[in-house]
Amino acid sequence: MEPDSQLLLQLVEMRMPFGKYKGSLLCDIPVHYLEWFQRKGFPEGKLGMLLQTIYEIKLNGLEYLLQPLKNGKR
């Protein structure tokens, strides 16, 4: 199945709206913080879905999928 390019684009454009990593791009949030969310529960709605997605991407070593999108933003 082809990754959803709009979803991936949001991961390199959207910033964390709260917490320790407020202002960080979702794709740049460290895995240990995402693991904390995994244990405590991801936020509701779109943000939670995006955080779960970046967690799965990092957990499975798929960050290379985001590189072309990140490079395109610079």
Q: How far, CA to CA in Å, does 2 sit from each of 5, 6, 25, 42, 46?
A: 8, 12, 23, 24, 20
- pTM of the predicted model as reported, rounded to 2 decimal places: 0.88
pLDDT of the chain, 74 residues: tens digit per residue: 455 778 899 999 999 999 999 999 999 999 999 999 999 999 999 999 999 999 999 999 999 989 988 887 65
Predicted local distance difference test score (pLDDT) of residue 72: 79
